[in-house]
Every structure is written in structure tokens, then in C-alpha cells.
């Protein structure tokens, strides 16, 4: 056999032992190419979306919104025909501030200029508010289909501004600080009422805080003068009340002292009367106890004492009381500088 034929058959045998996937023809190669193409297509087209917590997905097929929102998780769609829109359903915040130069987002909060309104007399007033709200997740497809992705600029912002203008327009500028709480309640209730009137209830209002009321300089100065006058009036009232209390205190003390003196005087008078009645009663009892025999005995005793005195001093002079009863008086005539009187009962 020629050498070239041997080489040919040897190459055939070697090729039959080759494990390459292309050995059996183009079927396996076509399958491999298809898998690679699908992987590349998936990588480029990304026909899936991952919905995170605090979000819902809205599937749009050929421009038509699916009314059922997609919950958090992974969801597939057909590229070119379908798409999935992610919508945030967490609590959102709009701050209306006087210092906002450029409206936009700052720290996850939507910033807007303070609301310029007119009071009941047409004076300009700036109102600063904070509004908290969230998209209704169950009605998100209908809301986005009707209002678009900038739904809060079409729902929240106009409602808030209209309500604030209507409420503030009922008051005079100088009354706004005094009735701040009343105004805040009216604003929140009116905003909630207007939002709840919208079909499908697209938004849930969480809270409205009235942060500041910026008044015109003249009104502010006038209010400050009024406040100063009120404070002065309150101070004078306090001083008058304090003086009145002091006077009442002194009057009460004087009255108390007078009552105390009266009680002491009454007590002293009662004591004297009791002593006088006691003495009178004693005298009556003594008078009732005296009898002629007792008096005669007492007279004899006194006469005996005088007789004893005369024995010692014969110059003594004796004076008898009328009736001859005691007491009697005797005087020592020998010594005129000394006189002794005795009274016995």
C-alpha cells in the first residue's frame, strides 16, 4: 500500500478517537453557541428586576400598567415588550423652608421654598411646614398611570399650598402666633380631607408640622411692643396683687393681735370676777359663821392682849372702837417716834 494511503487511514483513526464536542458534527456546537448567546443576552438585556423592601414594582406590558403591584423579590419580564418600574412606598418628607435656594432633595428630604400667603388684610406672610406622607402601595400602579412618577408634585405640593393659603387668609397677621396651635390643626385636617377626596386614595398623609410663621417686620415689631406692654401690665398686676396680699396679711395680723388682746383682757376680767366672787363668797361664809358669842370671845382675847401690854408699858393709851368690839388701838406714849398698831380679827 502506498505511503500516502497509510497516512490517510492513520489520520482517520486518530480523528475517531478525538473527544471534542465537534466530533459528531454541528449539533453540539450549535447547542453550545445557543447557550453562550442566551447568557450574553441575559447579561446585556437583564430581563429581571429585584424589588427591595419599602418598594413595589409596576409591570408595564406594551404601555399597559398591570393593576397588581409586584411585592419585594425577583421578577422577570420580556425585554422590549415589558418593563418593571420600581416605586418607593416608604415615608417621604417635604420641607417648606425660607432658606431654600434651589428646590430638590437634601438628605432624602424634598426641599421646597416657604409658602408665601396673605393674611386677612392682605399682608404677606411666609409659612414653613414639614409634611410626611407615603404612596399607597396597593394603588401604586393606578397612581403612577394617572399622575406619573412625579406624582407628589401634582398631588401633595398643590394641595398643601392651597390649604395653607385658605387657612392663613382667615386670620390677621398679629393673631397668627397666638393661635398657632389652632392654625396647625386646621391645616393638617384640611390637607388630609383634600387628599382623601382623591380617587383610589393614592396617598396616605402621616403628619403635618407647622414649624415657623414669618411675619412682616412692621407686624413683628408691633407684636413685640404689645408683648412688652402685656408683660409690663402683668408685672404691675403682680405688684398690686402682692401689695394687696401684704395689706391683707397685716390686717389679719392686726386682727389676730386684737383678738388675742381681747381674749387676754377677757381672761383677766374673768379672773378678777372669779376672785371677787370667791372673796365675796368667803366673806359671806365668814359673816355667816360669826356669832355674838364668837365676837365676845374675840373681844375678851384682845382685851387680854392689851392688859398684858399695859403690864409692860403703863404709858400706853388705849382707844376702843365704838361698841367696844375689836379691833382696838393702843399707842405707847413714852416714845412718840414709835407707834404700834395692832389689829386682830
Task: CATH number of the domain at 211, please.
Answer: 3.30.479.30
Let me know whether 96 and 208 are in one domain.
Answer: yes
Whole-number pLDDT of residue 318? 60
Whole-number pLDDT of residue 204? 93
Residue 343 lies in a domain: no
What CA–CA distances, in Å, run from 342 to 210, 306, 318, 328, 329? 107, 10, 11, 7, 6
φ, ψ of residue 172 to 5 degrees: the values are -80, 150
Out of 215, 243, 270, a domain closes at 215
Single pTM value for the model: 0.56
| Burial of 331 from C-beta contacts in 10 A (0-12 / 13-18 / 19+) | middle
Contact 160, 94 (CB under 8 A): yes
Whole-number pLDDT of residue 47? 81
| Burial of 292 from C-beta contacts in 10 A (0-12 / 13-18 / 19+) | exposed
Let me know whether 189 and 143 are in one domain.
Answer: yes
Residue 147 lies in a domain: yes
Residue 41 lies in a domain: yes
Whole-number pLDDT of residue 330? 52
Residue 59 lies in a domain: no
Let me know whether 25 and 114 are in one domain.
Answer: no
Contact 161, 132 (CB under 8 A): no
Let me know whether 251 and 270 are in one domain.
Answer: yes
Out of 182, 197, 215, a domain closes at 215
Let me know whether 320 and 298 are in one domain.
Answer: yes
Let me know whether 182 and 224 are in one domain.
Answer: no
C-alpha dihedral sign at 119, 124, 129, 135: positive
Run of H or E residues at 343: none
Let me know whether 111 and 160 are in one domain.
Answer: yes
Let me know whether 106 and 203 are in one domain.
Answer: yes
Whole-number pLDDT of residue 331? 53
Residue 56 lies in a domain: no
Let me know whether 133 and 143 are in one domain.
Answer: yes
Let me know whether 316 and 205 are in one domain.
Answer: no
Whole-number pLDDT of residue 2? 46
Structural domain of 224: 217-289
Contact 129, 111 (CB under 8 A): no
- pLDDT tens for the chain, 345 residues long, are 444 545 544 555 555 455 554 455 567 778 887 778 767 766 676 788 899 999 999 999 998 999 999 999 999 888 888 899 999 999 999 999 987 666 666 556 888 999 999 999 888 999 999 999 999 999 999 999 999 998 988 999 999 999 999 999 999 988 898 899 999 999 999 999 999 999 889 999 999 999 999 988 887 787 777 778 888 888 888 888 888 888 888 888 888 888 888 888 888 888 888 888 888 877 777 777 666 776 677 777 777 777 777 777 666 666 555 555 555 555 555 555 444 444 444
Run of H or E residues at 77: none
Q: How many domains does the chain have?
A: 4
Residue 82 lies in a domain: no
Whole-number pLDDT of residue 343? 41
Let me know whether 145 and 230 are in one domain.
Answer: no
Helix/strand number for the chain, H first, E second: 7, 13
Residue 18, classed as helix, strand or coil, is: coil
Let me know whether 221 and 237 are in one domain.
Answer: yes
Residue 57 lies in a domain: no
Out of 187, 215, 243, a domain closes at 215
Residue 187 lies in a domain: yes
Amino acid at each position: 500500500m502506498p505511503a500516502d494511503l497509510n497516512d490517510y487511514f492513520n489520520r482517520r483513526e486518530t480523528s475517531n478517537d478525538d473527544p471534542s464536542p465537534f466530533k459528531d458534527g454541528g449539533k453540539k456546537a450549535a447547542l453550545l453557541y445557543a447557550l453562550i448567546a442566551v447568557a450574553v443576552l441575559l447579561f446585556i438585556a437583564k430581563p429581571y428586576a429585584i424589588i427591595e423592601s419599602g418598594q413595589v414594582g409596576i409591570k408595564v406590558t406594551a404601555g399597559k400598567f398591570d393593576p397588581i403591584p409586584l411585592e419585594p423579590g425577583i421578577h422577570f419580564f420580556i425585554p422590549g415588550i415589558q418593563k418593571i418600574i420600581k416605586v418607593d412606598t416608604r415615608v417621604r418628607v417635604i420641607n417648606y423652608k425660607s432658606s431654600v435656594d434651589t428646590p430638590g432633595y437634601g438628605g432624602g428630604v424634598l426641599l421646597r421654598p416657604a409658602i408665601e400667603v396673605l393674611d386677612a388684610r392682605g399682608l404677606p406672610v411666609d409659612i414653613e411646614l414639614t409634611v410626611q406622607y407615603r404612596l399607597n402601595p396597593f394603588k401604586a400602579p393606578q397612581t403612577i398611570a394617572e399622575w406619573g412618577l412625579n406624582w407628589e408634585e401634582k398631588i401633595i405640593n398643590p394641595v398643601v399650598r392651597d390649604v395653607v393659603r385658605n387657612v392663613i387668609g382667615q386670620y390677621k397677621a398679629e393673631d397668627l402666633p397666638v393661635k398657632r396651635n389652632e392654625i396647625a390643626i386646621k391645616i393638617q385636617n384640611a390637607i388630609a380631607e383634600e387628599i382623601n377626596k382623591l380617587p383610589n386614595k393614592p396617598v396616605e398623609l402621616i403628619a403635618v408640622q407647622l414649624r415657623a410663621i414669618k411675619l412682616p417686620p412692621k407686624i413683628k415689631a408691633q407684636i413685640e411692643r404689645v408683648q412688652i406692654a402685656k408683660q409690663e401690665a402683668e408685672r404691675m398686676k403682680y405688684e398690686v396683687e402682692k401689695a394687696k396680699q401684704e395689706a391683707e396679711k397685716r390686717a389679719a395680723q392686726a386682727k389676730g393681735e386684737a383678738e388675742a388682746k381681747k381674749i387676754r383682757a377677757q381672761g383677766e376680767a374673768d379672773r378678777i370676777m372669779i376672785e371677787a366672787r370667791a372673796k365675796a363668797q368667803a366673806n359671806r361664809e365668814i359673816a355667816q359663821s360669826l356669832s355674838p358669842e364668837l365676837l365676845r370671845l374675840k373681844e375678851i382675847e384682845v382685851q387680854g392682849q392689851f392688859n398684858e401690854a399695859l403690864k409692860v408699858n403703863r404709858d400706853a393709851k388705849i382707844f376702843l372702837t365704838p361698841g367696844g368690839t375689836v379691833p382696838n388701838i393702843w399707842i405707847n406714849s413714852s416714845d412718840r417716834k414709835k407707834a404700834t398698831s395692832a389689829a386682830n380679827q
